[in-house]
Amino acid sequence: MNSSQRIWIKAPLATLDNHCAGGIVIEGQRIVELVASGATPVSSVDEVFDAREHVMLPGLINSHHHFYQTLTRAYPQALNKSLFSWLKSLYPVWARLGQEMIEVSTQVALSELLLSGCTTASDHHYLFPDGLENAIDIQMEQARKLGMRVHLTRGSMSLGVDDGGLPPQSTVQDEDTILADSERLIQRYHQAGEGAMSQVALAPCSPFSVSESLMRASADLAKKHGVRLHTHLAETHDETAFCIEMFGLRPLDYLEKVGWLNDQVWLAHGIHFNDDEIRRLGEAGTGIAHCPSSNMLLASGMCPTLDLERAGSPVGLGVDGSASNDGSNMIQEVRQAFLLQRLRYRADEITHQKVLSWATEGSARCLGRQDIGKLEVGMQADIALFKLDELRFAGAGDPLAALVLCGAHQADRVMVAGEWRVLDGAIVGQDLNDLIARQKSLARKLATVT
């Protein structure tokens, strides 16, 4: 869209925010006006998109993922296992990743996310075997081609089995290499300003795969460059037992010891916290990426989302890796969160509006963004429009609730930074059949290499 052109997305069927029931006006990359129900824009517009058949949401925001895992969906040797045994079955496979595999798996993950109404995605990549040192660079290029916002985290593993960790030695790097590459990526790709399309965070993988010194050094480097920190924490009871045996501390105590308990950190999973730990997380403002599908598949447990929110922690939503989900669909993840959390909290506490807020504003807060996740004047023009014309919606009453209750799975139109990236359910300029064929071929190659 021309930077001076004004487009009115007019009178949507429903919105997450009733104050723009008459639609929104976009100029360039930003929302410049909210239109009340039955009203028209104050200033003239150049184009009108009639959204009477569409439910309009802020672009969904994925706060935790592992793009490369789209190559190992439903992997036979990893079925029906809990986290530690699941990881041990997959680490040797992932150690064989190559550059083309990262390129294509990133395209697949981002495409699936985009088609599900997701406009911003965070990925946690922590595998850098020989020849794959530029994995994050490859991911950045694929995101640029698709026009998606990304928060790519420079993950790391430095504590192999020889040193008491979980991953095999072939998948770990030394600390100097990790820190040098982390700084390189920040300097090359991190955009700190409003409307940033690419940001970098530092993400040592987990307490059972990195050293204490790397956790501290990563925190120091992040503070130096003003970037955020991310890791897995409190996902399983096995992890808690590991931390107690290895460090003499529960996971959150360890996190605090290494200087990570603050509002520049967001954590993946956050399941096994006690009441005092929840209070401390809230006081620190540390965010939590809730990953319901992965938590269910690995039988890890259930994140105490509302307790964390009430304590003061931002709660976002993540699809997690496509080997423990096995998908990358954000609007389906919203439904999973809705259903799972109703097993823990009252029906009037876990509403469709609440879970949609986790996938938008909550995830934005986890990522430290104030310019996305809402339909408000001045916010970035990241928009997802869903039609309710499939059989699954026949007979539905409330259109917004129907997205969640009836199981929406694909957006009709998606806009990122004022540009349409999905039109009529298809990604602009992409040959999806070719992408699927390449992914299938590479997945077979990865599974058969010895």
Domain presence at residue 1 = no
Domain presence at residue 438 = no
Judged on CB neighbours under 10 Å (0-12, 13-18, 19+), 232 is buried
Domain final residue pick, 337, 366, 395: 366
Whether residue 113 sits in one domain with residue 172: yes
Across 23-27, average pLDDT: 98
Whether residue 50 sits in one domain with residue 10: yes
At 227-251, the pLDDT tens digits run: 999 999 999 999 999 999 999 999 9
Whether residue 402 sits in one domain with residue 306: no
Domain presence at residue 373 = no
List the domain range (segments joined by +) for residue 247: 60-366
pLDDT at 449 over 70: no
Q: pLDDT-based confidence at 208, cuts 50/70/90? A: confident
Whether residue 198 sits in one domain with residue 82: yes
Count of domains in the chain? Answer: 2
| CA separation for the pair 33, 24 (Å, rounded) | 6
DSSP 21-85: TTEEEEETTEEEEEE-TT---SS--SEEEE-TTEEEEEPEEE----GGGGGGTT-GGGTT--HHH
Whether residue 382 sits in one domain with residue 295: no
| CA separation for the pair 240, 250 (Å, rounded) | 6
User: Are 33 and 43 spatial neighbours (Cβ–Cβ below 8 Å)?
Assistant: yes
Domain presence at residue 417 = yes
DSSP 272-295: S--HHHHHHHHHHT-EEEE-HHHH
pLDDT score for 3:
65
Domain final residue pick, 366, 395, 417: 366
Q: What is the percent of the chain with per-residue pLDDT over 70, rounded to a whole number?
A: 99
| CA separation for the pair 201, 323 (Å, rounded) | 23
Q: pLDDT-based confidence at 448, cuts 50/70/90? A: confident
pLDDT score for 207:
86
Q: pLDDT-based confidence at 122, cuts 50/70/90? A: very high
At 387-406, the pLDDT tens digits run: 999 999 999 999 999 999 99
Domain presence at residue 433 = no
Across 182-195, average pLDDT: 97
| Average pLDDT, rounded, for the chain | 96
Give the pair of three-digit tokens for residue 185.
Answer: 């990526």
The set of residues, in sequence order, having a beta carbon less than 8 Å from that of 382 and lying 6+ positions away, is: 58, 59, 119, 120, 149, 372, 415, 416, 417
Domain final residue pick, 317, 346, 366: 366
| CA separation for the pair 30, 178 (Å, rounded) | 37
Angle at the Cα of 332 from the Cα atoms of 336 and 425, rounded to 5 degrees? 175
At 136-160, the pLDDT tens digits run: 999 999 999 999 999 999 999 998 8
| Helix pair angle (135-146, 99-115), 10° resolution | 40
From the list 145, 149, 108, 183, the residue with the least C-alpha distance to 364 is 149
pLDDT score for 421:
98
SS3 316: strand
Whether residue 325 sits in one domain with residue 418: no
| CA separation for the pair 123, 110 (Å, rounded) | 10
Q: What is the percent of the chain with per-residue pLDDT over 90, rounded to a whole number?
A: 92
| Helix pair angle (175-189, 212-225), 10° resolution | 20
Domain presence at residue 14 = yes
Say what the alpha-carbon torsion angle 378, 380, 382, 383 is, to the nearest 10 degrees. Answer: 10
DSSP lists the bridge partners of residue 124 as 153
**Edge-to-edge strands of the sheet including 426-427?**
14-15, 54-58, 383-387, 413-416, 419-423, 426-427
Question: Residue 395 belongs to a domain with what CATH number?
Answer: 2.30.40.10
Give the pair of three-digit tokens for residue 4.
Answer: 């001076």
The amino acid sitting at 373 is G
At 163-172, the pLDDT tens digits run: 887 888 888 9
| CA separation for the pair 155, 254 (Å, rounded) | 19
DSSP lists the bridge partners of residue 334 as none
pLDDT at 1 over 60: no
At 34-92, the pLDDT tens digits run: 999 999 999 899 999 999 999 999 999 999 999 999 999 999 999 999 999 999 999 99
Domain presence at residue 147 = yes
At 282-318, the pLDDT tens digits run: 999 999 999 999 999 999 999 999 999 999 999 999 9
pLDDT score for 17:
86
The set of residues, in sequence order, having a beta carbon less than 8 Å from that of 292 and lying 6+ positions away, is: 303, 317, 333, 336, 337, 340, 341
Whether residue 341 sits in one domain with residue 295: yes
Whether residue 333 sits in one domain with residue 399: no
